[in-house]
Homo-oligomer: A and B are copies of this chain.
């Protein structure tokens, strides 16, 4: 039934999960440190798990309701495929599993990293990196497994015209992408609200009012802050990248199904499997890369960053090379163009990563200039951060544009003509797949920073010797720097995947019309058989052009949806943060807590963040789900495409702006804390802290959630295409 090469995909998935399991067991065997360290780690773990359980409960209800709605639409009204309700559910469940496993590992790792760092820097690095790799290989493994299981099932049970087999299968599989996206949005928004509210509470009252140091155990919000790092930066990021990874693969598969129409079923299947195979190869390359990362005790930032960057380079080069080999070995006609698209995609990711690092690292002028403006007042530090963020959108947008046009050009037989549109678009999707193929490695290097951060908190609260904190701080800083490259890949792939999903939407509209029983389209007074209609025919039929008022109105709404989404998520953070501040102030009114003779009530703070995040994440998620449906009902296909296009372009720009402004404010503060411009406690430092607080929800809640939003809206539009064509 399936070609032999298919089996490589689930095997790679299982390999990734096995590898994650081995790393987990290895990590657990390490010394968890003294009693106090274990106690603190236990508190953080308990809080994090309690939060995740609570979040999954809410999300489960949302998924259940949505599935029932889908089941009615599918079984009673024939508006979508009968597999959709289940496919949608598995996307959410597997994503949740990956996040859970990753966070479990991260919370166990923290005290062990602190303990290992007591011995040597390299020991700490290895434990942290392996802890992070549990998340990354969990994400990759579960995604590949989910993709391959669904492919196998749908392939096995498919009945009907073989020519439309791959198209039908891949479009159904996109609904599992919607499950993953929705879960990711909840994880990012919920986790982001939790962590930033706790952070602001801890900083504003603990640091600024009471003058406590970071991670001082007398601060009632300190455990919530550490829990937040786990639910936001580990579980949230895991779900986010699960969605990106699966989304890129699914979008590419769907476009290959479209572009290979007319070829033999065998060839079509090969094309569709290609992105999954690249993903599987990425697992192997990521494992290899992980083993080349080493540190000496004498290593400085430079060596550590260099060592990790070598790993990223190695895996990227291997993936680029492997694409040439695999595509030519599979006998795919446009193998050269496709492979060049992947190389181009990787280059775009690297360019964005380098740029993000240049803009937001305190080693370079732009962020230093933000720091300098802190010397004038907190108003100027805010203004110059906004300026940096806005201006910094230029290079990523131009890079993505060049990557898009270039990949299209290469993949469609070295031409920019839209007659080969599906081929060209599949090149764009492949560029995104290439960027994310080494996720197993890249995500690990990102997550280990969060673990090191927590280890530092653990060391501080357990009063370990100073050099431990120094080492974990260095690991944290390394994680921040290497994360820039990961961010480049994540940001770049989001734009390319969203672009590919736009085309998948058109394909799904066609399938929905076929399901409805339509046979012909009348385009420019000519009858075109629906089964043979391509993307351009449908675009013409629905008048999806720049002069259709429905398209334009859709575009206005898309830009607005992005801005309102930012408003809602930012607002949610400040609402919960306000409650947190009040609670911390209330506890500090008891002098026995401040003098350390009584332990603060950590649980109250955790509860505030948990409940606040649960409530506040619902409305933004609803906005993402309902906007495409309502637009479809009122403005039809043209309106929806206007919405998606504009949400993509505005959302991408705003995501880059929020990430970079937030990053620059954060690091401008660190720059001052390193002793520049008066150092800690100076007026400049206080102004920079304000900047950091404004930036926190930007870079850790609204910004990353936007990358998910633009894909989720496309996914929702795809899944509910059957409803749109009714009106």
Chain A positions within 8 Å of B, measured between CB atoms, are 200, 204, 208, 373, 376-380, 382-384, 386-394, 397-398, 400-401, 404-405, 408, 416, 418, 421, 424-425, 428, 495, 499, 502-503, 506, 524, 535-536, 539-540, 543-553, 555-560, 562-564, 566-568, 570-571, 573-574, 577-578, 581, 641-642, 645-646, 649-650, 652-654, 657, 689-690, 693-694, 697
Contacts and interface: CB of A to CB of B under 8 A. Distances in A.
Contacts of A543: 418
Contact of A387 (B379, B400, B567): B567
Q: Which of A495, A544, A642, A646 has the most CB of B within 10 A?
A: A646
13 contacts: A378-B378, A380-B577, A383-B571, A383-B693, A387-B568, A390-B563, A393-B560, A418-B548, A421-B547, A535-B547, A555-B645, A563-B654, A646-B650
Nearest to A693: B379
A344 B612 CA distance: 42
A577 to B, nearest CB: 7
A653 B563 contact: yes
Contact of A384 (B378, B574, B653, B654): B574
Contacts of A573: 383
A373 B574 contact: yes
A366 to B, nearest CB: 11
A641 B548 CA distance: 13
Contact of A652 (B200, B556, B690): B556
Contacts of A499: 552
A556 B400 contact: yes
B570 A387 contact: yes
Nearest to A566: B390
B376 A563 contact: no
A397 B570 contact: no
A609 to B, nearest CB: 16
Nearest to A572: B387
Nearest to A499: B552
A581 B390 CA distance: 24
A540 B539 contact: no
A230 to B, nearest CB: 24
A649 B558 contact: yes
Secondary structure call for the A interface: helix
Contacts of A653: 556, 559-560, 562-563, 650
Contact of A549 (B380, B405, B551): B405
Contact of A546 (B377, B378, B502, B560): B502
A564 B564 CA distance: 20
Contacts of A549: 404-405, 408, 416, 418, 424-425, 428
Contacts of A571: 383-384, 387, 391
A567 to B, nearest CB: 3
A383 B574 contact: yes
A556 B397 contact: yes
A646 B548 contact: no
A558 to B, nearest CB: 7
A373 B689 CA distance: 17
Q: Which of A208, A388, A560 has the most CB of B within 10 A?
A: A560
Contacts of A574: 373, 380, 383-384, 387
Contact of A200 (B379, B389, B506, B578): B379
A652 to B, nearest CB: 7
A22 to B, nearest CB: 43
Given A390-B566, A404-B552, A547-B502, A376 B539 contact: no
Contacts of A408: 549
A690 B394 CA distance: 28
A604 B278 CA distance: 65
A394 B564 contact: yes
A583 to B, nearest CB: 13
A428 B548 CA distance: 13
Contact of A388 (B377, B382, B390, B567): B567
B390 A567 contact: yes
Contacts of A398: 557, 560
B506 A652 contact: no
B382 A553 contact: no
A425 B382 CA distance: 41
Given A384-B574, A570-B386, A405 B373 contact: no
Contacts of A690: 377-379, 382, 690
B503 A547 contact: yes
Contacts of A545: 536, 539-540, 544-546
A3 to B, nearest CB: 30
Given A405-B553, A564-B393, A383 B697 contact: yes
A711 to B, nearest CB: 15
Q: Which of A373, A387, A547 has the most CB of B within 10 A?
A: A547
A581 B567 CA distance: 32
Contacts of A654: 563
A380 B642 CA distance: 35
A356 to B, nearest CB: 15
